[in-house]
């Protein structure tokens, strides 16, 4: 069964664009990244899936249930972590966590205790005393303490220090290994590349591409760093050139044989030819789409 | 009942403060009554010279020298205006505060329907209003006992019930408006309570705008009418109940389909 399936899902805010004709499938048990720059429509997509926004058009099913008809049932299976971790300021951390569990009519004390311990979260502090990073931790506990079938995470790592980011992803990997579907939005491509199996790219409200991380990362382009020269070789397919002293860095899309032939004619002292990382590929992908 | 309990906890301090202030002022009003009573000849003469000002507060129809008359005017204003402000604040903030303080996203992504959220918030609002009025009634009874006065129980009960219904109506109207807001509506709430109060004063001043009494819930809390007739003015009360129902219906209707951004 698909954890998430949308067909032509559309949301307009009056005349302003939110998301347009999104067709997306996230299989159950997947670790899925939803990538896009700020304002692309990631949060609108997530808020529509969670029933906070009513879609203008199209359909969306979560575990085969329509989001409009079975919203409460669906939300019972979801753990949601919003990008802004905002809670009732006058409550203590443990009160917020307990309130969230009570709203689900579940006893999650043991799981909450384990999560708080792993995230080093002081449950006796008031929300108003917490930093953004610590509020994010509260958000993680509220999203995971009831062991949901689907975790929807909107920009989950912003505000978390690197150690906590690692711990957080360790928890997600464990949950995913147990069968939980993870759907996370991010504009940090490296974390999507590192943790997700599949991803989709959204730009200006429209889905550009969706597939496995491996397939999305496949490209003919090479990142070339050459020392001992002050300009790239005269070849078609060279772009994104940067010159620092006697080092030239550029992206080359074309035949490798031609590149090597051109480089062999130059007085190089060193050369490195590598696959561009996913971030680089997406940045170029965005630019190409924009052009 | 999780949200109802949560709302009561969130509003506990405000309820304690408002109740203490209103009940305290009611008590002070009653405790100074014996002194006022001894100067009543002088006060009655002064009131008779104030013309329409007396009419505006209904002081032309009741005997200010008797306990019920004094209570109806002096204490009625405290419980009426104070209670209306408290009820308006409860109503206007109830739903809108979740969006203003950005907690709506947290609350509404739990497996509870919007209808449940509205119903439990409405319930919490009513519990707080009833608690304030119960404490106020007890303080009134104790204060009256302390100054040796025995109020007419039926008239006093109708008067206090009228104030309670007026507060419920004010809260319900503001609650309905709250569902349409996505920022705080503090000014709107206070404005509505003040508007209701002054509409009644204006309606008392001249027959030409008597119809305003249908709009304001203070129309059926008029102590001069209740003390003289032993009941609330039914036509104003009926409109008030309709407005109460409309406010509650608007809250359920709007909040049920509202986009939470």
- In the three-class reduction of DSSP (H, G, I as helix; E, B as strand; rest coil), residue B60 is classed as coil
A249 three-state secondary structure: strand
Does the reported pTM lie above 0.80? yes
Residue with tokens 């504009």: A187
Contact A35, A70 (CB under 8 A): no
**Residue B220 parent element (H or E):** none
Q: How far is B104 from chain A (nearest CA, A)?
A: 9
Quick check: A43 pLDDT over 80? yes
A132 in contact with B at a CB cutoff of 8 Å? no
Which tokens is B232 given?
């609330």
A290 pLDDT band, cuts 50/70/90, is low
The reply to whether A73 touches chain B by the CB within 8 Å rule is: yes
Contact yes or no for A274/A222 (Cβ under 8 A): yes
Instruction: Give the gap in angstroms from C-alpha B123 to the nearest C-alpha of chain A.
Output: 17
Contact status, residue A232 vs residue A248, Cβ threshold 8 Å: yes
Q: Residue B50 above 80 pLDDT? A: no
B187 lies in which domain range? Answer: 2-257
pLDDT number for residue A260 = 92
Residue A201 pLDDT more than 80? yes
Report how far residue A42's alpha carbon sits from residue A89's, in angstroms, rounded to the nearest whole number.
Answer: 27
Which has the closest alpha carbon to A190: A172, A217, A170? A217
Alpha-carbon gap: A283 to the closest alpha carbon of chain B (Å): 28
Q: Is B6 on the interface with A (CB under 8 A)?
A: yes
Kindly list the residues from chain B whose CB atom is less than 8 angstroms away from the CB atom of residue A67: none
Give the CA dihedral A228, A231, A234, A240, nearest 10 degrees: 120
What is the pLDDT confidence band of residue A286, given thresholds at 50, 70 and 90? low
Cβ–Cβ of A52/B103 closer than 8 Å?
Answer: no
Mean pLDDT of chain B: 89
pLDDT value of residue B61 = 63
Are B140 and B26 in contact, with CB atoms under 8 Å apart? yes
Q: What is the rounded CA–CA span in Å between residue B90 and residue B185?
A: 10
Is the distance from CB of A41 to CB of A55 less than 8 angstroms? no
pLDDT tens, position by position, A75-117: 999 999 998 899 999 999 999 999 999 999 999 999 999 999 9
Interchain CB contact of B49 with A (< 8 Å): no
Report how far residue B86's alpha carbon sits from residue B90's, in angstroms, rounded to the nearest whole number: 6
Query: For B111, which residue in chain A has the nearest alpha carbon?
Result: A72
- Integer Cα distance of A140 and A116 in angstroms: 9
Which residues in chain A are closer than 8 Å to B108, comparing Cβ atoms?
51-52
Residue A124 confidence class, pLDDT cut points 50, 70, 90: very high
- Low-confidence winner among A42-46, A278-282, B49-53, B209-213 (lowest mean pLDDT): B49-53
CB contact under 8 A, A73 and B106: no
| Domains in chain B, number | 1
Contact residues on chain B for A102, CB-CB shorter than 8 A:
2
Q: How confident is the model at residue B54 (pLDDT cuts 50, 70, 90)?
A: low
According to DSSP, residue B73 is labeled: I
Question: Among partner residues B3, B105, B110, which is closest to A104 by beta-carbon distance?
Answer: B110
Q: Please check whether residue A230 touches B, CB under 8 A.
A: no
Q: Which residue did the predictor score with more confidence, A242 or B250?
A: B250
- Is residue B115 less than 8 Å (CB to CB) from chain A? no
Q: What is the mean pLDDT of residues A132-158?
A: 95
SS3 percent helix, strand, coil of chain A, rounded to 5, is 35, 30, 35
The answer to whether A135 faces chain B, any CB pair under 8 Å, is no
Residue B63 to chain A, least CA–CA distance (Å)? 49
* SS3 state at A199: strand
């Amino acid at each position: 069964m698909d954890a998430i399936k949308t067909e032509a899902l559309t949301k307009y805010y009056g005349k302003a664009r939110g998301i347009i004709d999104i067709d997306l499938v996230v299989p159950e048990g997947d670790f899925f990244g939803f990538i896009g720059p700020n304002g692309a429509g990631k949060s609108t997509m997530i808020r529509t899936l969670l029933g906070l926004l009513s879609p203008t058009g199209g359909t969306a099913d979560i575990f085969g249930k329509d989001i409009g008809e079975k919203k409460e049932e669906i939300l019972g299976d979801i753990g949601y972590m919003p990008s802004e971790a905002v809670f009732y300021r006058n409550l203590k951390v443990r009160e917020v966590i307990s309130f969230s569990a009570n709203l689900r009519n579940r006893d999650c004390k043991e799981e909450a205790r384990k999560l708080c311990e792993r995230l080093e979260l002081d449950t006796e502090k008031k929300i108003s005393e917490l930093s953004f990073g610590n509020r994010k931790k509260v958000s993680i506990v509220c999203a995971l303490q009831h062991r949901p079938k689907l975790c929807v995470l909107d920009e989950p790592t912003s505000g978390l220090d690197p150690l906590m980011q690692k711990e957080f992803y360790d928890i997600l990997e464990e949950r995913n290994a147990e069968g939980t579907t993870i759907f996370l939005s991010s504009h940090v491509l490296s974390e999507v590349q590192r943790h997700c199996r599949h991803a989709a790219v959204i730009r200006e409200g429209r889905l550009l591409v969706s597939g496995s991380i491996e397939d999305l990362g496949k490209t003919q382009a090479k990142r070339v760093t050459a020392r001992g020269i002050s300009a790239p070789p005269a070849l078609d397919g060279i772009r994104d050139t940067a010159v620092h002293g006697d080092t030239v860095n550029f992206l080359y899309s074309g035949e490798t044989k031609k590149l090597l032939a051109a480089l062999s004619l130059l007085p190089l002292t060193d050369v490195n030819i590598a696959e561009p990382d996913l971030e680089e590929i997406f940045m170029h992908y965005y630019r190409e789409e924009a052009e | 009942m999780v949200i109802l309990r949560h709302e009561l906890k969130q509003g506990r301090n405000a309820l304690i403060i408002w109740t203490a202030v209103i009940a305290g002022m009611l008590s002070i009003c009653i405790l100074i009554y014996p002194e006022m009573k001894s100067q009543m000849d002088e006060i009655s003469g002064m009131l008779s010279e104030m013309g329409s000002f007396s009419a505006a507060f209904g002081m032309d129809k009741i005997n200010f020298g008797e306990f019920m008359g004094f209570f109806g005017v002096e204490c009625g204003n405290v419980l009426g205006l104070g209670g209306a402000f408290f009820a308006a604040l409860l109503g206007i903030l109830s739903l809108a505060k979740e969006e203003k303080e950005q907690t709506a996203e947290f609350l509404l992504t739990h497996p509870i329907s919007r209808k449940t959220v509205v119903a439990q918030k409405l319930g919490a609002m009513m519990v707080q209003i009833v608690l304030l009025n119960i404490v106020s009634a007890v303080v009134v009874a104790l204060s009256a006992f302390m100054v040796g006065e025995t109020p007419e129980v039926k008239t006093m009960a109708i008067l206090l019930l009228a104030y309670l219904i007026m507060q419920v109506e004010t809260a319900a109207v503001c609650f309905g408006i709250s569902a349409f807001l996505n920022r705080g509506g503090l000014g709107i709430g206070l404005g509505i309570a003040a508007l209701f109060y002054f509409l009644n004063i204006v309606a008392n001043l001249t027959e030409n705008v008597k119809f305003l009494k249908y709009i304001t819930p203070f129309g059926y809390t008029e102590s001069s009418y209740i003390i003289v007739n032993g009941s609330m003015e039914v036509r104003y009360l009926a409109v008030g109940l309709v407005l109460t129902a409309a406010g509650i219906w608007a809250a359920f209707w709007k909040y049920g389909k509202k986009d939470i951004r």
